[in-house]
Amino acid sequence: MVPPFQGNKQEVLAFIGNVDTAFVVINPSQEVILYKFVLTRISGEPRTAISHRNLENWANLKEILQNTYIEKRTLDFHASQLFNAKQGKDENVADWIHKIQILGSQYREAALLHCSVGARQGILDLSDRLRNICFIQGLASDRIQTIVRSRNYQNFGEIAETALVEENAIASKHERHGVEGVSGYRYSNCGKPGHSSNKCYSRNKEKARIKPIVAIGSGAVSQVTCFQCGEKGHIARNCRKPLRRKENDDHRLSGKRGKTAGE
């Protein structure tokens, strides 16, 4: 129940919290024995520091540890860190869960430093509720935030699991429909971001290309005669004999000149 402590400042709050819990649950007649056991769990520099002090009980030892190894940051500082925390743009939900758990733990430990034994449970409940609220408010996705809120869970494990499930559902939808999202999906047609597959220009450009007209009305192509070259099977617009057309034009022009001169 009581972990060892060797002077690591990052572990002192956890050590103090575990010892406090042990003294709460133990029979008062066993407190002296528990205190001697706690002393055996301290080693290294802190053991040397307390060896020459006449520390009669856990309260005296706790005060020494707090003054020596705990950073002097106020409860307001940790509360501000917790309330202002937000999930980063490129941060996934799993990382956000880890981040908010650390901030919540720091706030809880700071709140427990100077509280009485009777107020301990109330502080724990309050810090858990604040952590849950700040986790939901800090989610980057409005959709995930709305869904998690609608479930009205009180347990952080259920809240975190719901957020993870929704993040996976969104990622799967993006991948299935080719919509650019958190993971930067690219599209199957052209490999470029910014549009979905069904709107890809590379896919639709062939459809958009104007095809030549090969028939007029409902008649078969073989019955169509080109007035430019006189052959069947196409119309003048698609005629591949432009020289014949030029010759016809010259012939018509010369005919008109002769007629005019005769008049």
- Whole-prediction pTM: 0.46
> Which residues in the chain land under pLDDT 50?
179-188, 205-221, 245, 260
Predicted confidence (pLDDT) per residue in 49-61, tens digit:
888 888 889 989 9
CA dist., res. 180 & res. 171, Å (int): 10
CA dist., res. 257 & res. 254, Å (int): 5
Beta strands in the chain (DSSP E): none
pLDDT score of 215? 40
Structure tokens at 191: 């490999």
CA dist., res. 99 & res. 173, Å (int): 26
